[in-house]
Structure 1
């Protein structure tokens, strides 16, 4: 059955030209798949726009002229750069892309196994050393994930299936089979103290910025490893550099306060730091376009939108 309204949905693509070149065909295909009557463009009169497909680094920063706006559909998983915009009064939906989730699971699982198995020591082939030793088993290693949202929960479940002892921490109470779920400030201390490997998958808010400060880094076990594919500002950089001299053995970092990471930043040359260039996961246009199309369909049909952001919480 057609979802076409009497008038086509007016959809503004408000992102960079490069993203338009990548997303135009997948979006049109996704809208056509659901038989949507629409007008999709990079320029439309603001008072005629029903939906904005949005990237925070795009041309729209003031939402006030968009007087009939039904929703803003974020292209990025993170919404910290738009959630606090006072001119935005329409609903805001974040991007939850199945391909992005799978990519994050693979990055987290891969780097967890890398550090768990001590793969670096074997890959670099040091000298003529031939000292066979049985690698550890996952059941002997404790992994803690800070953040049990869509991405954090998917990663926790994948690590649990491999056999790791997995705990997850969130601000509010969560439950997940096989996962030790901790919450609140007391739970955060417990989560850190049991983290042989710590994975950061929290959103960036005023409450989570510098969450890993000197005091909290000191709670980690000696020889612990940090993986941060979440947000760069979750960690106090200077405090991390000090912790690497004490109890933290290694940090694998995919996100940073300034990106690209400045060439003079000490992370680049630190022997206990691995830098990856924000590649842990990326929204895939084909699957993301279907998520956007479904939310447009819901908005036209008067159904609840998917992945709505709680503007007071910031995510």
Structure 2
């Protein structure tokens, strides 16, 4: 008997997944029926979902074995009291590759001082400022989950001196790992480039506030491809204006699209990119969804289950 998979991530998402998800399930050895509507919630075995999708009340899905999110972030889902089923976040290998490439690209951009030359094609021969080599540059990655660890390891392979910070202690080859409040102070005080790759929780919202920005070495660069609310916008603008922060490259924001009137757009020390650092790729994400369905049917542990207490 086929398992029933309810694709409840919305019609726009289905247009991207309708070729890939059925094939991925077949490749995983899963015989499945995919529903785009669920008039009888009791027959649904798995729900494929994304915030803003087709349902808000998960309570009727009494036989659902897991809700499989298409997004890496789950902050918009963990507060839903009706969602009592196991919840798995998306860890898509292609999305991870995309994030690593974006992070490395912008880190190298700031490390090498590329803007000086790209933005000043004015006939002046500026060869008096030479960047250090990577081993002489300290880079910090805040958040050592799947994305943060991969980004940190990639930077370490380029010989950057990489500091890592996470809520709980970790040990990662090539990364000097710290944890806790004292560890965060240590990391911020040494980091010339700071990359934010933490999940958004009650504890991480506004993590980079005025006090923590003031701990950075003067002129440090802030790169945020994680979550917009990790940064106190007002405090960041003030730190940029005083020179405490030399530049901020931001891919995520509290409100998206970023409103045209927001001061980030016009600030000379801010680079705005429109949430393009990493996105779920339907081909590879479908394989992740199919593997979790296979695991559920085989009685094996699901991949990437969310800890409801931690919120990620």
TM bucket normalised to smaller: over 0.9
1:128 aligns with 2:123: yes
Aligned equivalent of 2:257 = 260
2:29–2:294 contact (8 Å) kept in structure 1: no
2:25–2:290 contact (8 Å) kept in structure 1: yes
Task: Please state how far the C-alpha of 1:125 moved relative to its aligned partner.
Answer: 3.6
Secondary structure class of the residue paired with 2:60: coil
Aligned equivalent of 1:88 = 83
Whole-angstrom distance in 2 between the partners of 1:131 and 1:299: 60
Aligned counterpart in structure 1 of residue 32 of structure 2, from 32, 38, 53:
38
Aligned equivalent of 2:205 = 209
Mapping for residues 153-232 of structure 1, pairs under 5 Å: 153-232=149-228
2:30–2:294 contact (8 Å) kept in structure 1: yes
CA deviation digits over 1:50-91, x for unaligned, max 9?
A: 100000110111100001010000000000010121111110
Task: Please state how far the C-alpha of 1:312 moved relative to its aligned partner.
Answer: 0.5
Report which stretch shifted further, 33-42 or 252-261.
33-42
Aligned equivalent of 1:57 = 52
Task: Please state how far the C-alpha of 1:124 moved relative to its aligned partner.
Answer: 2.4
| Count of residue pairs brought into register by the alignment | 309
Aligned equivalent of 1:147 = 143
Whole-angstrom distance in 1 between the partners of 2:9 and 2:25: 18
Task: Please state how far the C-alpha of 1:132 moved relative to its aligned partner.
Answer: 2.4
CA deviation digits over 1:110-131, x for unaligned, max 9?
A: 0000000000111124311113
1:303 aligns with 2:300: yes
Aligned equivalent of 1:27 = 21
Query: Where in structure 1 are there 5+ consecutive unaligned residues?
Result: 1-6
Aligned equivalent of 1:4 = none
1:110 aligns with 2:76: no
Whole-angstrom distance in 1 between the partners of 2:309 and 2:280: 25
CA deviation digits over 1:272-313, x for unaligned, max 9?
A: 000000000111100000000000000011100000000110
Aligned equivalent of 1:10 = 4
CA deviation digits over 1:250-286, x for unaligned, max 9?
A: 0000000000000100000000000000000111100
CA deviation digits over 1:103-154, x for unaligned, max 9?
A: 0000000000000000011112431111324432111110001000000000
2:9–2:48 contact (8 Å) kept in structure 1: yes
Whole-angstrom distance in 2 between the partners of 1:80 and 1:35: 32
Task: Please state how far the C-alpha of 1:34 moved relative to its aligned partner.
Answer: 2.0
2:142–2:198 contact (8 Å) kept in structure 1: yes
